[in-house]
Amino acid sequence: MKAIRFMKPEVIEYSDIPTPAPKRGEVLAEIAYAGFCATDIELLTGEMVHIKNGNTTYPIIPGHEWSGRIVQVGEDVRELRVGDRITSDVSLGCGECGECRRGHYNLCPNREVIGSYRNRQGVFAQYVAVPQRHAYKLPEGLSLEEAALAEPAATAMYAVTKARIPAGAQVLVIGDGPIGQLAAQLASVEGASRVIMAGSWDEKLAVAKSCGVSETINYHREDVIERAGELTDGGPEIIIETSGSNSALTSAVQALKPTGRIVAVSWYNGPAVDVPMNTLIVKDAELVGSLASPNSFEPVLRYMAEGKLKVKPLITHIRPLEELEDVVKMIRAKKEMRIKILLRP
Ligand SMILES: [Zn+2]
Ligand SMILES: [Zn+2]
């Protein structure tokens, strides 16, 4: 099969490699679309924590967001058939340990992560093999194109679940990238009366508005804390921080309404992040971390199929897989507006 491999930092190769065979309990799928994610860039530069600590090594086939069709099933596969349209989890738990048995397969000590951790093969390729217990059949009427956003949507869904949004709450989402866009829509679905998005690109904020966000704040021009306070009469009860910037996390603590909750669904650089802890304590508030997307694919696939979660406006580019190098150049140039780029093997 054709696949993209990162051979070492900044070296991309598109070449023929052996097609994987499905092991016991696995299905082999032909990939229709693969989504490009910021973590794929970290893998390319070598900045990813798994590369630094040796849990992921070059060469590696990157990519973890995908949709496709089953072409072969391994031994003991009962629930799925050749021809089924599927997507899959990214964290693949062992299924046996205590964490897996409690449903926390994102924390399984034996886990592999598609396209990164422990070099589990990624989806920037023609085919991928995944365990049946981590595969999800696509609902009727949901396109393969839309389903390729299931993983970022599930990541946003898990964060929104952890936010435990009180009915009618006002929610601030920080970040206008894919996770922010998806979390904003899901917050409405999960009971927020009003969602405000803070971001840096007017065009992306406009997309969020077209998908139902009530108000937007461009933090290049406006003060997020002040503006969020005005819009919500005293601050949002829930803040979902998707930008990964330390200053955004600090602003979140300052903007939050007393007794509110912040969910951080991002990765912060550096060994430690400064949080104005006393402000959080004085506000009697909560700060919650959210890792990956456990148990969150089924609801988002349903929401997408029902039209409650609109992902088509977020797909700004569809490119052939072999053009990955150009895609990376385009991303780094930071001139063109992009939210989600899909690659077609
Ligand atoms: Zn991703
Ligand atoms: Zn496990």
Close Cβ partners of 228 (under 8 Å, ≥ 6 residues apart): 172, 196, 198, 217, 235, 236, 255
Determine the Cα–Cα distance for residues 89 and 269; give it in Å rounded to an integer.
Answer: 25
Averaged pLDDT, 214-236: 97
β-strand 85-88 against 315-320: which pairing, if any?
unpaired
11 CA distance to ligand 2 centroid (A)? 33
Taking 80 as the threshold, does the pLDDT of residue 312 lie above it?
Answer: yes
- Find the ligand nearest to 104 CA: 2
- Find the ligand nearest to 151 CA: 1
- Find the ligand nearest to 156 CA: 1
Determine the Cα–Cα distance for residues 221 and 127; give it in Å rounded to an integer.
Answer: 45
pLDDT attached to residue 217: 98
256 CA distance to ligand 1 centroid (A)? 27
End-to-end CA distance of the chain: 10
pLDDT attached to residue 267: 87
Determine the Cα–Cα distance for residues 253 and 261; give it in Å rounded to an integer.
Answer: 9
Taking 80 as the threshold, does the pLDDT of residue 254 lie above it?
Answer: yes
Alpha helices in the chain (DSSP H): 38-45, 49-52, 98-101, 144-147, 150-163, 178-189, 202-210, 224-232, 246-255, 277-282, 297-306, 324-333
Between 156 and 266, the higher pLDDT residue? 156
pLDDT attached to residue 271: 77
Taking 80 as the threshold, does the pLDDT of residue 192 lie above it?
Answer: yes
Q: What residues form DSSP beta bridges with 14?
A: 4
> Would you state the structure tokens that stand for residue 270, as one six-digit string?
């550096």
Amino acid occupying residue 166: P
C-alpha distances in Å from residue 210, one per residue of 112, 177, 206, 291: 37, 15, 6, 28
> Would you state the structure tokens that stand for residue 38, as one six-digit string?
């910021």
105 CA distance to ligand 2 centroid (A)? 6
130 CA distance to ligand 2 centroid (A)? 15
Residue 272's pLDDT band, with cuts at 50, 70 and 90, is: confident
296 CA distance to ligand 1 centroid (A)? 14
pLDDT attached to residue 77: 98
> Would you state the structure tokens that stand for residue 174, as one six-digit string?
């920080």
Averaged pLDDT, 135-161: 98
- Find the ligand nearest to 148 CA: 1
Residue 110's pLDDT band, with cuts at 50, 70 and 90, is: very high
Q: Which residue has the tokens 């924390």?
A: 107
Share of the chain above pLDDT 70, in %: 100
Nearest alpha carbon to residue 194 among 180, 205, 184: 184
Specify whether the CB–CB gap between 127 and 133 falls below 8 A.
no
Averaged pLDDT, 154-175: 98
- Find the ligand nearest to 114 CA: 1
- Find the ligand nearest to 266 CA: 1
37 CA distance to ligand 1 centroid (A)? 5
Determine the Cα–Cα distance for residues 62 and 123; give it in Å rounded to an integer.
Answer: 6
Residue 270's pLDDT band, with cuts at 50, 70 and 90, is: confident
Question: Domains in the chain and their CATH numbers?
Answer: 2-149+311-344 (3.90.180.10), 153-289 (3.40.50.720)
Residue 286's pLDDT band, with cuts at 50, 70 and 90, is: very high
Could you tell me what percentage of the chain is helix, strand and coil, using 3-state DSSP and rounding each to the nearest 5? 35, 25, 40
Taking 80 as the threshold, does the pLDDT of residue 55 lie above it?
Answer: yes
Backbone angles phi, psi at 243, to 5 degrees: -85, -25
Determine the Cα–Cα distance for residues 70 and 95; give it in Å rounded to an integer.
Answer: 22
Residue 222's pLDDT band, with cuts at 50, 70 and 90, is: very high
Nearest alpha carbon to residue 32 among 81, 92, 84: 84
Residue 121's pLDDT band, with cuts at 50, 70 and 90, is: very high
Q: What is the mean pLDDT of the chain?
A: 97
Alpha helices in 33-109 (DSSP H): 38-45, 49-52, 98-101
Averaged pLDDT, 41-55: 94
Taking 90 as the threshold, does the pLDDT of residue 185 lie above it?
Answer: yes
Sign of CA dihedral 161, 188, 87, 64: negative
**pTM (two decimals):** 0.96
pLDDT attached to residue 108: 97
